[in-house]
Homo-oligomer: A and B are copies of this chain.
Amino acid sequence: VIVPMFGLFCERLSETVKRFGGEVIEVKAEWGLACNAEEIKAILDVEKDVKAVAVVYNETSTGVTLRSLPDIGKITRKKGILLIVDAVSVLLGDHLPVDDWGIDLCVAGSQKCFACPPGLAMVSVSEKAYEAAEKNKFRPFNHDFLLWRDFKARLETPFTPSIPLYYALDEALNMLMEEGLENRIRRHTICAETFYKTFENLGLEIVAKNEFRSNTVIVPYIPENINVDEFRRVLREKFKIAVAGGVGKLKGKVIRIGSMGVVSTYEVLATINGIIKTLKMFNYKPKNKLKKIVLEAKETLSQLKNFKF
């Protein structure tokens, strides 16, 4: 299994494959970047035994989205191998036409862009993935696609489902239908753009290089002379804004802003306002005038004015 490596959740994916006895070919990229399709192709041209490419589409630890995913899908489809996608933190928040891109297995979580409580996993399975499962004798009972497919055919689940969460998902999907998928993705895009523009105006560097920037997780560096934990504490206590810290190599260097699900003008402006004021308390001098920064943020967000959300 080929796994592009560009953050913590890529490491977890690689670990998961290994735990099931799989052999992993890791394609490493600097944190802030991700691999391109040519790198995958080059490996496939040499290694003849590859059964799948497994990728994290949106890496939560770095705010990097694997923009080469559609091109990777063309390659895996041509080679007849599986394409497995962890889309936990991004499905509905960015473009991901699962069938068009040739994705065989796509996994997402209810608590992210679905704007639903946590506790459910959504999994889409292609015919090719079902066929691979049929050939695989080793399928853990509770995660066996074939068992789920059998029960799905008679509108049942093989194990007791979490009824309250199914009701919540039903309502979350109603809300999605009301908003429309394209509108939801556009909302996430505009909110993310507002954050990126603001951080650029403030003079804060973004971990993800331009072409890899995520629509749902924004990860800016915090100036070296500011203690990130202290920064997060002030932001939380004074402005009621909770952001995550860095993990792994980025620990103590960045904050991570989850901008997904129930996120719109109000949440983005409140977060930006809190961050600007907290930076000020730490004596940070923004690159541009605050008035210009806030005006540009509002201007970007104004594209959302027709959203009722």
Interface residues of A (CB under 8 A from B): 12, 15-16, 19-21, 109, 111, 117-119, 138-141, 144, 160-165, 168
Chain B residues with CB under 8 Å of A117's CB are 162-164
| Residue from the list B111, B140, B141 in contact with A160, Cβ < 8 A | B111
Interface of A is mostly: loop
| Residue from the list B16, B141, B164 in contact with A141, Cβ < 8 A | B16
Once the chains bind, are A20 and B140 in contact (CB under 8 Å)?
yes
17 further A-B pairs in the complex, CB-CB below 8 A; given A119-B161, A162-B165, A164-B165: A15-B141, A19-B138, A19-B141, A20-B140, A111-B160, A117-B162, A117-B163, A117-B164, A118-B160, A118-B161, A118-B163, A119-B162, A119-B165, A140-B140, A162-B162, A164-B168, A165-B165
Chain B residues with CB under 8 Å of A19's CB are 138-141, 144
Can you name 29 A-B pairs with beta carbons within 8 Å?
A12-B141, A15-B141, A16-B141, A19-B139, A19-B140, A19-B144, A21-B138, A109-B160, A111-B160, A117-B162, A117-B163, A117-B164, A118-B160, A118-B161, A118-B162, A118-B163, A119-B119, A119-B161, A119-B162, A119-B163, A119-B164, A119-B165, A140-B140, A162-B162, A162-B165, A164-B164, A164-B165, A164-B168, A165-B165
Chain B residues with CB under 8 Å of A141's CB are 12, 15-16, 19
Chain B residue nearest in CB terms to A110? B162
A260 to B268, CA, bound (A): 47
Chain B residues with CB under 8 Å of A118's CB are 160-163
Chain B residue nearest in CB terms to A88? B160
User: How many whole Å from A168's CB to the nearest CB in chain B?
Assistant: 8
Which residue, of A161, A164, A168, has the highest number of chain B Cβ atoms within 10 A? Answer: A164
Chain B residues with CB under 8 Å of A163's CB are 117-119
A1 to B144, CA, bound (A): 22
Which residue, of A21, A139, A141, has the highest number of chain B Cβ atoms within 10 A? Answer: A141
Chain B residue nearest in CB terms to A117? B164
A163 to B168, CA, bound (A): 13
Chain B residues with CB under 8 Å of A144's CB are 19
Q: Name the 3 nearest CB pairs between A and B, nearest first.
A: A119-B162, A118-B160, A16-B141
Chain B residues with CB under 8 Å of A168's CB are 164
User: How many whole Å from A244's CB to the nearest CB in chain B?
Assistant: 12
Chain B residue nearest in CB terms to A137? B19
Which residue, of A16, A119, A163, has the highest number of chain B Cβ atoms within 10 A? Answer: A119
A171 to B16, CA, bound (A): 34
A164 to B120, CA, bound (A): 12
